[in-house]
Amino acid sequence: MGRPAGVILGALLVVLLLANAVVFAVHRWRPAASGAGGLTPMERWLALPLSQRAVYVERYRGLMKEPGRAAALRWAREFSGLPAERQGRLREVYAVFHELLEVQPPGRRGEWLRASGRTRGFLAFQTLRHEHPQRLSDLRAAWGRP
């Protein structure tokens, strides 16, 4: 074991140190980039705590069990693709919708809930227009409608 062996060993040591540093850095920093789009869905999944993963599995199973509920995943994907401003507006609309639904008499409320999604939206709009015209004007003004 002379000088060449020492040089080779030294070079190997440096390479291994660098490789370990790279692997360590990837593991240390990648989970922190979650949501920044730098990770694959599986990497993001594995970065979650096990308890959180179990919650999502149960929720997914629940959605898959009920007929028609799978559409919720499609809507959620669609919603997440919207600009933040539009998402904020939809949340406001939901708050209005929820408020209107809550104050409906039980019979009418049941009618709303049995109706399809679009019909429910239409019924809410009719209520807003006839019973709360000022609120409708305020919302339109807030969203850039004169």
Instruction: Report the interface residues with other proteins, using CB under 8 A.
Output: 1, 5-6, 9-10, 12-13, 16-17, 19-20, 23-24, 27, 41-42, 44-46, 50, 53-54, 56-57, 59-60, 63, 69, 72-80, 89-91, 93-94, 96-98, 116-118, 120-122, 124-125, 128-129, 133, 136-137, 139-140, 143, 145
Handedness of CA 12, 14, 17, 19 (dihedral sign): negative
Task: Name the strand (E) or helix (H) holding 21.
Answer: helix 3-29
Q: Which token pair is 115? A: 């109706």
SS3 1: coil
Counting Cβ atoms within 10 Å, is residue 44 exposed (0-12), middle (13-18) or buried (19+)?
middle
Torsion region of 89: left, alpha or beta (phi above 0 gives left; psi -120 to 50 gives alpha): alpha
**In the complex, minimum distance from the CB of residue 38 to other proteins, in angstroms, rounded to a whole number:** 14
> Which of residues 63 and 111 has its CB atom nearest to other proteins in the complex?
63
**In the complex, minimum distance from the CB of residue 105 to other proteins, in angstroms, rounded to a whole number:** 18
**In the complex, minimum distance from the CB of residue 106 to other proteins, in angstroms, rounded to a whole number:** 18
**In the complex, minimum distance from the CB of residue 127 to other proteins, in angstroms, rounded to a whole number:** 10
